[in-house]
């Protein structure tokens, strides 16, 4: 079962009975936590919240195996829903190599090498502007960078819940180093990142979920040979090493993010080293064939 299909798991479990099948569910996130803790849609004690928590719990109980994207997410699910850790397996989200391809990575590098001298250094964020992304901290970091180095540009691609607020804050600050672009197709997005980004930005929020996830954008950016800056969390450090294949800063601290952006801007050798190592790691461990092989091994052990 694919992500966000909690409501379909009971039917899948029923149908599985007729063929002696097992249900493997990849929730990606809890409905309850996403809607009521992250988004604050309604009170966590509301009837709607309790109903969504029940949907989560039922889907998890009926599944033979539940996939989690990180160890921290596995531990959260197991603890919150009272399930044994053995019911879970950890498989990172990775990236789609048909879109974020090697050829596009090479084309992006060639395009950037051909830029006119004096082109602005560009840090790119792309995503759905969720609270866990901490885009408000990116705006405040851009303010700190603007005060110190006006040759740096922040390009924000996408849209979502926090976009109106962060756009208003950027306008209030009168910053000349932030550009916003709306949603794009996956192919157009990948092309824009490949051509525009000197570095890519991950997530910086202070929510509990922000500390548990390693989102697609990190793997996608690495697949395009971009150095990635993101908040230091146990989940990120489980997969990557600061200064080797990623650059880490303190979460929810704009000044730490500003320092990270400027450090990479001023050190081309470090940028190149992180980009190269991240690219090699992404294509070795986090592309679909590698993750598919890992999942096959997991299924073979769990359901011999």
Quote the pLDDT of residue 163. 96
pLDDT score for 2: 65
Both 77 and 122 in one domain: the answer is no
Cα separation, 214 vs 233, in Å, equals: 9
Q: Is residue 252 part of a domain?
A: yes
Same domain for 202 and 137, yes or no, is: yes
CA–CA dist 208, 98 (Å, integer): 32
Q: Examine the domain organization and report whether 185 and 56 are in the same domain.
A: no
DSSP-based three-state secondary structure for 195: helix
Phi, psi of 90 (to 5 degrees): -100, 120
Q: Please report where in the chains the tokens 């359901």 appear, as a residue.
A: 303
pLDDT at 80: 96
In angstroms, the Cα distances linking 231 to 108, 128, 152 are 25, 17, 20
Same domain, 118 and 63: no
> In this structure, is residue 302 part of a structural domain?
no
Domain interval for residue 121: 102-285
pLDDT attached to residue 118: 84
CA distance 8 to 80: 21
What Rg value do the Cα atoms of the chain yield, rounded?
20
Decide if 297 is inside a domain.
Answer: no
- Give dist(CA 7, CA 77) in Å, integer: 17
Q: How many helices (H) and strands (E) does the chain have?
A: 13, 9
Tell me, yes or no, whether 86 and 139 share the same domain: no
292 lies in some domain: no
What are the average pLDDT values for consecutive 10-residue runs of the chain, which has 304 residues?
84 91 94 91 95 97 97 97 96 98 97 89 97 96 98 97 95 96 96 98 95 98 99 97 98 97 98 99 98 97 91
Which residues, at least 6 apart from 107, have a Cβ–Cβ distance to it below 8 Å? 194, 195
- Residue 38 has a pLDDT of 87
**DSSP 8-class letter at 120:** P
pLDDT at 20: 84
The answer to whether 112 and 198 have CB atoms below 8 angstroms apart is yes
pTM of the model: 0.95
């Amino acid at each position: 079962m694919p992500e966000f299909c909690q409501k379909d798991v009971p039917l899948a479990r029923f149908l599985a009975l007729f063929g002696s099948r097992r249900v493997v569910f990849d929730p990606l996130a809890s409905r309850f936590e996403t809607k009521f803790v992250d988004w604050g849609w309604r009170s966590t004690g509301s009837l709607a919240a309790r109903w969504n928590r029940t949907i989560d719990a039922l889907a998890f109980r009926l599944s033979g195996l539940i996939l989690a994207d990180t160890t921290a997410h596995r531990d959260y699910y197991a603890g919150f829903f009272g399930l044994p850790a053995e019911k879970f397996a950890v498989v990172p989200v990775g990236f789609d190599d048909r879109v974020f391809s090697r050829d596009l990575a090479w084309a992006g590098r060639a395009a950037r090498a051909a830029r006119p001298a004096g082109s602005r250094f560009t840090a790119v964020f792309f995503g759905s502007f969720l609270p866990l992304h901490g885009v408000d901290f990116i705006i405040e970091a851009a303010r700190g960078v603007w005060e110190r180095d006006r040759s740096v540009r922040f390009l924000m691609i996408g849209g979502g819940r926090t976009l109106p607020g962060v756009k208003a804050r950027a306008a209030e600050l009168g910053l000349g180093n932030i550009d916003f672009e709306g949603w794009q197709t996956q192919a157009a997005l990948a092309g824009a990142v490949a051509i525009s980004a000197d570095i890519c930005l991950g997530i910086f929020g202070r929510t509990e979920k922000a500390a548990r996830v390693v989102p697609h954008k990190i793997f996608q950016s690495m697949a395009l040979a971009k150095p990635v800056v993101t908040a230091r969390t146990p989940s990120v450090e489980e997969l990557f090493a600061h200064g080797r294949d990623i650059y880490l800063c303190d979460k929810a601290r704009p000044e730490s993010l500003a320092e990270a952006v400027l450090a990479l801007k001023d050190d081309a050798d470090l940028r190149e080293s992180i980009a190269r190592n991240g690219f090699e790691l992404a294509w070795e461990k986090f592309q679909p064939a590698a993750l598919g092989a890992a999942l096959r091994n997991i299924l073979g052990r769990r359901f011999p």
